[in-house]
Structure 1
């Protein structure tokens, strides 16, 4: 693993995810008297905007998608209604996932270099998830190595289900963390300095030193509130807004259906709205 396992290259922009989370919290609060809204640029990366605007996703290349803060019903049980359409056995040519699937097929054929490329592509994603869970860099590095060792042993069993390989890897990491603590309850031990310094230093019109300090303090307050959620809500928020996972990827990782994840996110956002201090700057 590289010395800076939270490098910005190939990494999800955490600040964009936190911006998106704050927008949903503002919608849950629903009162301009309760929060102070910071000005935002009119345009920016996918997932940025105003609370009243249309949000296309946490990150553009993964179609993560924000979930509206409204109650969501559970999906019907299998066996009721029309049978689901089975996913294709491989990505369509030209699909962004086709390159990754090509590497997977080569790794399944025993090509070590192909698995090495998969490692380089996903090591930051796996490390970040584990680091949020355990709060110790040495332990996170060890568990990240164990995750990829287990993935190497199991790569031949991986089949295309229409979801990114990263969700499969994080599922392995999740199980290893649970084994380590001998419990299914997760602790969010966020090292805010590493988390926030791992992202892009420039913020366009907001890139002044004063704005950077305010932004960091605001995010630390939000992350502190996330720590107070119950374990399932914590993990949902981490996967959706700090990892940038889609609803489908989060559901796969947490072994739930998509309706349950939407409902869990809704409850978590509402809980955060209650936990944040009065005057918190959205």
Structure 2
């Protein structure tokens, strides 16, 4: 299976995934997800007179569409939150609006820092390297002295733990 995946990874990335998602880092993640899904579901592959590339391509296209769907949901949420903000907080309508915005940012940052502090050191480090320092996955894995695949698992679990703790009220 590995030689097949290695043979088709570059064409999938350059001709199928990257043109659909636009961002090289997102394309890498989509490729990783595509190949992981292919390995998981290889027993479901049936020969239909086409190469395995057609099957891998279909998986990649679906994964790219998933990225777009998540992006649209995020944009809808951002639009809904923006619509809920009172017009009075716009900088041009109130002189103290900038102070209010800065205070909100400070509180949000403090809540993020408090949530991070409640996580294990390993999870904190993974989140800081990838999401705050915005390092590539390979560099994050190197700095944590683990494989990229293991880093992906640690990051996934760290994000899940962060979300769980962030959703809790501060007094819990």
Fold agreement, TM-score > 0.5? no
For the aligned pair, the TM-score class normalised by the smaller chain equals: 0.3 to 0.5
- Answer 1 or 2: higher relative contact order, Cα 8 Å, separation at least 6: 1
* TM-score normalized by the length of structure 2: 0.42
The answer to which structure has the higher helix fraction is: 2
Structure of greater Rg: 2
